[in-house]
Structure 1
Amino acid sequence: MYQFKQLVVPDFMNKKPPPNYIAGLGRGATGFTTRSDIGPAREGPSDALIEKAKAAAEGKGKTDDDEDDERFQDPDNETGLFNALPYEADDEEADRIYEEVDMKMDERRRARREAREREELEKYRKERPKIQQQFADLKRGLAVVSEDEWASIPEVGDLVRKGKRQKKLADKYTPVPDSVLLGASQQAELTTSLDAKQQLLGGLATPATADGTMTDFVQFGQARDKVLGLKLDQISDSVTGQTIIDPKGYLTDLNSIVVKTDAEISDIKKARTLLKSVITTNPKHAPGWIAAARLEEVAGKLGAARETIAKGCEECPTSEDVWLESARLNTSENAKVILAQAIRHVPQSVKVWMKACDLETDGKAKKRVLRRALEFIPNSVRIWKAAVSMEEDPEDARILLSRAVECVPLAVELWLALARLESYENAKKVLNKARLANATNHEVWITAAKLEETNGNEKGVEMIVRRAVDSLQKKGSTLDRDQWIQEAEKAEKEKYIATCQAIIRETIGMGVDEEDRKSTWMEDAESCIAHGSTATARAIYAHALKVFPNKKSIWRRAAFLEKAHGTRESLDEILQRAVRYCPQAEVLWLMGAKEKWLAGDIAAAKGILEAAFAANSNSEQIWLAAIKLEVETGEYDRARILLSNARDKANTERVWMKSAQLERQLGAVDEALSLLAEAIRRFPNFAKLWMMKGQIEQREKGDISAARDTYAQAIKQVPKSATLWLLASRLEEGAGAQIKARATLEKARIMNPKVPELWCEAVRVELRANNNPMAKALMAKALQECPSSGLLWSEAILMEPRPQRKSRSADALKKCENDPLVVITVARLFWAERKVEKARNWFNRAVKTNPDLGDSWAWWLRFEMMHGREEQQQEVVTKCVAADPRHGERWQTVAKDISNVGKNTEAILKLVAAQLHNTI
């Protein structure tokens, strides 16, 4: 038989499950159904039980390692294995070391962490910018809004449900009561009869009480007239009976009465209380009395102010400020009495005596007061000066000053005033005494030098200034070199030139190192020129030339100073000395020759150039100057000879160019071309030779193909010359080859990027071909390539329609504010709008910005020819001749024309102005 082994049943199966036990809850195997189930096997646990079980499971799974680590940081709060051990010094040392290590590691990572935080913040700001950043460009634009534009901005009203409100209001209708209509009709009516009540009362009287007592306004009027008459009698003159009221100023005085507000009255009361406390607790404090009196004056109580300051005078009799304040608050007669009392208490007060003198109206009385004051205060310089100024007789003034310098020997100004009143011999004695009394004062020495210069003793001037410098240095005077230069400038303004020069010679080298002398002296001279002290600057240059006679830069500066502020004779003298010391300085020779030529002395100019040839035989500038002089005087044969010699001795490209230019000017075209061919062979990279050759072939010879070949060779040889590309393009455009001209300019822009002239020429080619869209497109690219070009911006302004020109001008001025071409264009816009004064101001601004631009002067002259007077036109011509311009697109076209060779600046200016027309 089979034996069945009994199955062992686990012991927990027969036990009661723990409270709230749910089988499979931990692995989520509760409350689900299968396909075979019709419904849930049993009802699952509630949500409260599930949450409670989860919390219990989490509590059981937590270990000691999960506890807050903060307990290990605090020695007094440790738990676990080592909680019973004491916290000793080594534990504290270990914690401190770990903390330092943590801080060190944190410091090492700080730079990277801060950089990362900045990057994250920048990225966040880019993605989510602030409101103020989003409107930053608009806020910057508000800076140019004018006050009128601000004022014209309309106020923002409440537009919420505006339409609904208006609609509701329109639907409502409220009839006006009859009483309102009746009252409105009666307002404009005239009453022609009295009512019964008025007739019974006997007139237009107003009852004041209920018992019938009436107020008589006629009596009120009569009483008012009596009071006014009494006031007028009080202020009228008792002798003549005439009033002393100023009828013109009466209403003005009434208007000047300031009505105090409640706040002001309250402040005055508080201040009065405080000041009363001050003068009560400390009655000997003079400023407190003065403040209290001024408070009453501000409050309009002049009588109270006088009483207060009178008490102050009694309490503080030794304070001059209290007496002066009392005199100010009182009338003139009372002030004299007050000051007389003040003098008894403070006889040494200069202010009191001077105030007493000012109160006197008679000259004799003033003198009497001042002389009485000198008895009490004989050492007061102020009183002595006032007393001397009151004297009309120079002899009386001299006597007073003699006594003054005895009483106040340290007052230098009194000594100097006495010296001016004395004779020459006595003045020297006076100044010697003043020098002994004031050993460290430089004014006495300088006055003595001026005295010697006035009497024609220039050697004495030099000696006195030298002794002054030595004596003052020994006495320890603190006068430095800059102060001496200021004294020299002051002497020059007073017309003491010899004294000025002597001061410069003796003091210009004080405290200057040897290696810094030249630069320091040049800066001093420029500073004196800026101050208008040309004689001082001339003295500095003279001293510098003695020390550095071979420095041509100093000679040149001195020559420019003489040319600007001196005479022809002084300039000629300094140039002769300059070439004697610096014979290799070409500019000095040329300046001398030019001055002689401008003076009309052609022979002297030629003599200077001959001497220059002897010193500089190979100088290009001197050769060209001599050639120009011969050409200007019509000596063409001599000019050709000089040019031939110059080509041999000074073989330069400019000499060859001038040779060809002279032949072209004289009509020898073939000779000019042969010279240019030889010159190009010698100097193939000189662009002007190619330009001249191409122009001769195009204009004089009429050979377009030869000119085209010349420009083609020139562009290959000198590809960086923008002018050659422009001439080649204009040649093709003139021949009718528009496409080839465009191609030439496009190739030029590739070879020479960011050249405004090439872009402008391309735009003008399209404008001349009436291809406006292409011109605008090119202009847009040009402004991107050259955003600060005044040439392009001026052309862009003129291309815009009239309404958009102002905004375009504003953009141009922002990009290139001081460009004369843009300024001229803006002036032309004002000219077109007939704003004459604004246009004149802008023309003036343009020529000041760049006086070398001849086009600006021509446009200004053209404007004045149409809208200005003859004096204004002549002023423009004079300024232009003084500026001597050499550049400008239209200017150079006229100036370099063969038919205009030899014409002066005025003639060129008028020719250019005649060709201009403001057609905008």
Structure 2
Amino acid sequence: MFFHFLRSLLFTVVFNQLFVNIVLTKLALFPGIKKGKQIKMNVQNLVNKKKKAFIGMTAPPGYVPGLGRGATGFTTRSDIGPARDASDISDERHKNFNKGKSGDRQEEEEEDLNESNFDEFTGYGGSLFGGGPYDKEDEEADIVYESIDKRMDERRKIKREERLKEEIKRYRMEKPKIQQQFEDIKRELGTMSPDDWSAIPDVANMTRTKKNKNTRAERFTPVPDSMIERIASQQGHSTYASSGIQTALPGTATSLGMKTPAPGELDLLQIGVAKNSMLGVKLDQASDSVTGQTVVDPKGYLTDLNSITPRNLGDVGDIKKARLLLQSVTNTNPKHAPGWIAAARLEEVTGKLQQARNIIVKACEVCPNNEDVWIEAARLQPSEMAKSIIAKAVRNLPQSVKIWDKAVQLEDDTMAKRRVLRKALENIPNSVKLWKDAVELEEPGDARILLGRAVECCPTSVELWCALAKLETYENARKVLNKARQKIPTDRKIWINAARLEEANNNKEMVHKIIERALTSLKANMVEINRELWLKEAEECDHAESPITCQAIVRTVIAIGVETEDRKHTWMEDADSFTANKAYVAARAVFAYTLTVFPTKKSIWQRAAFFEKNHGTIEQYESLLQRAVTYCPKAEVLWLMRAKSKWLAGNVPEARSILNDAFGANPNSEEIWIAAITLESKNNEHERARKLLQKARETAGTARVWMKSARLEWCLSNLAGALQTIQYGLGKFPEFPKFYLMKGQIELQQGYKEKARNTYDLGIKRCPECIPLWVSLATLETLDDNITKARSILEKARVRNPKNDELWVNAIRLEVKAGNDNVAQALLARALQTCPKSGILWSECIFMAPRPARKTKSVDGLKNCDNDAHIVLAVARLFWLERKMKKAKEWFIKAVKLNPDLGDTWATYYKFTAAHGTEDELKVLVEKCVQADPHHGEYWCKTCKCIDNWRIDGNTELMLKLCAKSLPELR
């Protein structure tokens, strides 16, 4: 029974050598067991095949025999420690063995053994038995413990590593690395254009290293190329080095026969000449005197490669392979002409011109019936030799047009060319190209005779028939075109040339008939009428100054193949296409035909009027408007355009008469009343304007009419009358915001700030969506230095209108004006989060940023709102500030194209052109601005609505100049 217990015990502690040593030691103490040594050996063999060296050694320190089965030994208080039972196992086994490993160390300080330093689980804070000897058995026990720990650690290693990876992954998702955060941005770098790369700002020096004030680093500024070129041109293209170059004594001669200049007079141009001379000397020395082939290192000069002179090292192998390949082609298929030509051109490229000539001469012998080989041979030979080669080619291929054309090109004299062409026409009388070349060299009289023969030999050539008709008289030309139409009944160009012939001879009635007959004849000959091709012919006639033919073609073919419901849309597209190609006669014909089909369409009349205004004359514009108001009498805009045209032309009575007619057709029209009032007020007919306003208030009685009445009194300095009119208007229209704005401004002009404040307060209560009212009230508080109140007003306005960028801009400017730059930056960040597509905010952001960061801000702004004119204008101003005038001009042009109605863009562009442009550029700019007629913009609206500028309201050129003066300076 005892042996079974022993066997199970030993297998339990198979990996713990320390326990094995303890058990074996206890077995030696049992008095009833015989043959103890043999039993111990068996146990040792069962545990481990390796023989353990513990037999015969002393027991471990602190070992108490029989303690495990209840036996007690002699112990003291120091063995068991305080608060322990006598039966507890002593802690001598757990002493600090690491301390005993180093015998040379000094004993550590005596540790605190007080009860307050004792812990029930870990014992004392220090080791009680760390000073004992560390013998071999202790080392073996440590090795066993470490092996067991290692084995147990390997059992859970995979799960632990997986758990660790999951934790790391989760941590990286919560807090990614810097590299992971910028992965998407790094991928976007591949799509950046060169302009985007050039727009990246330079990195500022952010280091804060302290520099020694006593030792300053020497700085050098590179000299511009323009200065170097100017100095070189002044000093005979010589650049001198003043120091740092060791030269020979002044006046001494070099081995190349050049005089060495004195220090400070070293000519770099002479150095280059000397370098080339030295290179030539070295090459001459390295060359062979018999064959002339150099033997220089191939990596140095590429000369010892079978006499090849390739352009670079990479061509050498390719040339050899190409030569072998082409040689194989010519050997396997000697009749293949492209192979011979390619082989000759290869030798020509490599510099072996004579070998190329030999190859092509052989090709002429092998392929005598190929015209390309003969032409290539003539090209490679000198002029005289080329003529003989072409002569042989003509004998072999007398029907080749290319060879005859090459023969003509080799001749220098006009008479010789004529002789060659006539010989060519004898052999090839049906070649249109040879006939055309021959006709171009003849005089008009001889050319007509030659063309007469040409159309006989080439009756299907439309170009020859048309050319002959141009040289003949009117009657003969008609006969020629009739013959051409009989020979070629399926070509439209003959009919079009016949129509142009009639137009040129003032027979305009026949033009339209000829075009109609052309369509009938072509349809009878089964020819498809292609609308696009005919309209292209009309455009060509327009450019060739044949307007009658152009109009006839448009009227005849414009409706072919167009669905009924698509007519208006398609014809307007045709008109736009002709206008874009500067075919104005064709576009006018399209509008004329469309208006005959849709005579009551106001939109078509309006588009036609704008076309005539931009590309026609005043007479055509007014005539079109006169017909427009006849067909569309209810179209107010057409009446107003006609009246304004007469007014701008200086014919005020006629304009007044037109407006009277407009009143008859539209008796209660607000637009016509206001136009009549504006006409009278601008012409200093104030009493007439007041009567019209009174009548308009009685008839129309709209809020705008009341506002115009008050504004007229304000402009005439009748402030009391203006306030009275506004008060009446407020009684009728209490929610019209412009009344409150005008009343507040008039009261400020009178000096009544408190009244103006009350007016604005009442206005924002009744019209909380009117942004100018909030801004005006905040501006009034700012004038009184009530920054806090102004700030609260703008905050309240943003609550009522949360996504209005104008309010954000005014709030930011308020903080900047108050000196709160940090608050302004915070407001700007919030504003961009609320309105990320606002060009006004991004423009403000660019110029609030420090100068090194402005490029970055501009790039961000363009990404967020690329098609906004405000951000494009800000970029243009940034380039202007950086003195990059060419780029600034490009961006100004882009800005005015994006939004022509933005007056601030035109004013800034005008200011830029006035400072850095020419008078012609300034004149063109003013004309484009007048044509665009802008009405919006912060500074533009301030200039237009200023009460002092009311007399020039409507004069775009003067407004442009005044607005340009009011713009702030660049900062």
Alpha-carbon displacement from aligned partner over 1:729-757 (angstroms, at most 9, x marks no partner)? 22233344333222222211111102122
The answer to whether 1:332 aligns with 2:383 is: yes
Describe the SS at the equivalent of 1:787.
Answer: coil
Question: Does the 8 Å CA contact 2:460/2:488 hold for their aligned counterparts?
Answer: yes
Cα distance in 1 for partners of 2:747, 2:23 equals 114
Cα distance in 2 for partners of 1:140, 1:263 equals 33
Match of 1:887 among 930, 936, 941: 936
Cα distance in 2 for partners of 1:417, 1:139 equals 64
Match of 1:721 among 753, 756, 770: 770
Alpha-carbon displacement from aligned partner over 1:283-342 (angstroms, at most 9, x marks no partner)? 333333333433443444444433333333333322222222222232322322222222
Question: Does the 8 Å CA contact 2:200/2:855 hold for their aligned counterparts?
Answer: no
Could you say which residue in structure 1 is the equivalent of 2:812? 763
> What is the CA-CA distance between 1:678 and the residue it aligns to?
2.6
Change (3 A) 1:666 1:325: closer
Alpha-carbon displacement from aligned partner over 1:553-604 (angstroms, at most 9, x marks no partner)? 1111111111001001011111111111111111111111011011111111
Match of 1:556 among 596, 600, 606: 606
Could you say which residue in structure 1 is the equivalent of 2:394? 343
Could you say which residue in structure 2 is the equivalent of 1:676? 726
Q: Which 10-residue stretch deviates more, 802-811 or 894-903?
A: 802-811
Change (3 A) 1:762 1:270: closer
Question: Does the 8 Å CA contact 2:202/2:852 hold for their aligned counterparts?
Answer: no
Could you say which residue in structure 1 is the equivalent of 2:671? 621
Match of 1:487 among 529, 537, 547: 537
Question: Does the 8 Å CA contact 2:466/2:494 hold for their aligned counterparts?
Answer: yes
Question: Does the 8 Å CA contact 1:690/1:710 hold for their aligned counterparts?
Answer: yes
Cα distance in 2 for partners of 1:581, 1:648 equals 30
Could you say which residue in structure 2 is the equivalent of 1:477? 527
Could you say which residue in structure 2 is the equivalent of 1:454? 504
Could you say which residue in structure 1 is the equivalent of 2:408? 357
Give, as a single letter, the amino acid of the residue that structure 2 aligns with 1:757. Answer: E
Match of 1:603 among 639, 653, 656: 653
Alpha-carbon displacement from aligned partner over 1:406-450 (angstroms, at most 9, x marks no partner)? 111111111111111111111111111111111111111111011
Could you say which residue in structure 1 is the equivalent of 2:761? 712
Give, as a single letter, the amino acid of the residue that structure 1 aligns with 2:422. Answer: R
Alpha-carbon displacement from aligned partner over 1:394-417 (angstroms, at most 9, x marks no partner)? 221111111111111111111111
Q: Which 10-residue stretch deviates more, 902-911 or 690-699?
A: 902-911
Cα distance in 1 for partners of 2:178, 2:962 equals 60
Q: How is 1:433-582 mapped onto 2 (pairs within 5 angstroms)? A: 433-582=483-632
Cα distance in 1 for partners of 2:730, 2:897 equals 39
The answer to whether 1:419 aligns with 2:469 is: yes
Question: Does the 8 Å CA contact 1:886/1:892 hold for their aligned counterparts?
Answer: yes
Change (3 A) 1:885 1:796: same
Cα distance in 2 for partners of 1:539, 1:122 equals 72
Cα distance in 2 for partners of 1:152, 1:774 equals 27
Could you say which residue in structure 2 is the equivalent of 1:918? 969
Could you say which residue in structure 2 is the equivalent of 1:854? 903
Could you say which residue in structure 2 is the equivalent of 1:139? 186
Give, as a single letter, the amino acid of the residue that structure 1 aligns with 2:831. Answer: A
Cα distance in 2 for partners of 1:799, 1:864 equals 25
Match of 1:404 among 454, 465, 479: 454
Could you say which residue in structure 2 is the equivalent of 1:382? 433
The answer to whether 1:745 aligns with 2:786 is: no
Change (3 A) 1:513 1:332: same
> What is the CA-CA distance between 1:873 and the residue it aligns to?
5.2
Structure 2: runs of 5 or more not aligned: 34-38, 49-165, 204-247, 250-283, 292-306
Cα distance in 2 for partners of 1:919, 1:284 equals 76
Change (3 A) 1:880 1:269: closer
Could you say which residue in structure 1 is the equivalent of 2:683? 633
Could you say which residue in structure 1 is the equivalent of 2:239? none
> What is the CA-CA distance between 1:257 and the residue it aligns to?
9.3
Cα distance in 2 for partners of 1:553, 1:138 equals 48
Alpha-carbon displacement from aligned partner over 1:629-683 (angstroms, at most 9, x marks no partner)? 1111111122122112222222322111111111222233333223222322322
The answer to whether 1:776 aligns with 2:825 is: yes
With a CA cutoff of 8 Å and minimum separation of 6, indicate the structure with the bigger relative contact order: 2
The answer to whether 1:650 aligns with 2:700 is: yes
Question: Does the 8 Å CA contact 2:201/2:853 hold for their aligned counterparts?
Answer: no
Question: Does the 8 Å CA contact 1:388/1:401 hold for their aligned counterparts?
Answer: yes
Give, as a single letter, the amino acid of the residue that structure 2 aligns with 1:139. Answer: K
Cα distance in 1 for partners of 2:821, 2:202 equals 38
Q: Which 10-residue stretch deviates more, 876-885 or 664-673?
A: 876-885
Cα distance in 2 for partners of 1:366, 1:298 equals 31
The answer to whether 1:319 aligns with 2:366 is: no
Cα distance in 2 for partners of 1:718, 1:633 equals 35
Could you say which residue in structure 1 is the equivalent of 2:339? 288
The answer to whether 1:795 aligns with 2:844 is: yes
Change (3 A) 1:523 1:714: same
Change (3 A) 1:428 1:793: same
Q: Which 10-residue stretch deviates more, 403-412 or 858-867?
A: 858-867
Question: Does the 8 Å CA contact 1:828/1:918 hold for their aligned counterparts?
Answer: no
Cα distance in 2 for partners of 1:861, 1:268 equals 60
Change (3 A) 1:918 1:431: same
Structure 1: runs of 5 or more not aligned: 1-12, 52-118, 154-186, 189-220, 229-255
The answer to whether 1:908 aligns with 2:955 is: no
Cα distance in 2 for partners of 1:890, 1:325 equals 70
TM-score by length of 1: 0.72
Alpha-carbon displacement from aligned partner over 1:165-207 (angstroms, at most 9, x marks no partner)? xxxxxxxxxxxxxxxxxxxxxx99xxxxxxxxxxxxxxxxxxx
Question: Does the 8 Å CA contact 2:775/2:810 hold for their aligned counterparts?
Answer: yes
> What is the CA-CA distance between 1:910 and the residue it aligns to?
3.4
Alpha-carbon displacement from aligned partner over 1:516-553 (angstroms, at most 9, x marks no partner)? 11111111111111111111111011111111111111
Describe the SS at the equivalent of 1:902.
Answer: helix
> What is the CA-CA distance between 1:120 and the residue it aligns to?
14
Cα distance in 2 for partners of 1:148, 1:762 equals 34
Cα distance in 2 for partners of 1:291, 1:812 equals 56
Change (3 A) 1:452 1:680: same
Change (3 A) 1:449 1:25: farther
Cα distance in 2 for partners of 1:500, 1:46 equals 121
Question: Does the 8 Å CA contact 2:500/2:511 hold for their aligned counterparts?
Answer: yes
Q: Percent identity?
A: 53
Match of 1:754 among 784, 787, 803: 803
> What is the CA-CA distance between 1:723 and the residue it aligns to?
1.1
> What is the CA-CA distance between 1:461 and the residue it aligns to?
0.6
> What is the CA-CA distance between 1:499 and the residue it aligns to?
0.5
Cα distance in 1 for partners of 2:480, 2:818 equals 90
Change (3 A) 1:315 1:910: closer
Question: Does the 8 Å CA contact 1:370/1:383 hold for their aligned counterparts?
Answer: yes
Give, as a single letter, the amino acid of the residue that structure 2 aligns with 1:332. Answer: S
Q: Which 10-residue stretch deviates more, 654-663 or 298-307?
A: 298-307
Q: Which 10-residue stretch deviates more, 651-660 or 595-604?
A: 651-660
Root-mean-square deviation (Å): 4.1
Could you say which residue in structure 2 is the equivalent of 1:703? 752
Describe the SS at the equivalent of 2:951.
Answer: coil
Cα distance in 1 for partners of 2:167, 2:642 equals 72
Cα distance in 2 for partners of 1:862, 1:292 equals 64
Change (3 A) 1:755 1:49: same
Cα distance in 2 for partners of 1:559, 1:46 equals 119
Question: Does the 8 Å CA contact 1:832/1:918 hold for their aligned counterparts?
Answer: no
Give, as a single letter, the amino acid of the residue that structure 1 aligns with 2:405. Answer: M
> What is the CA-CA distance between 1:480 and the residue it aligns to?
1.2
TM-score by length of 2: 0.69
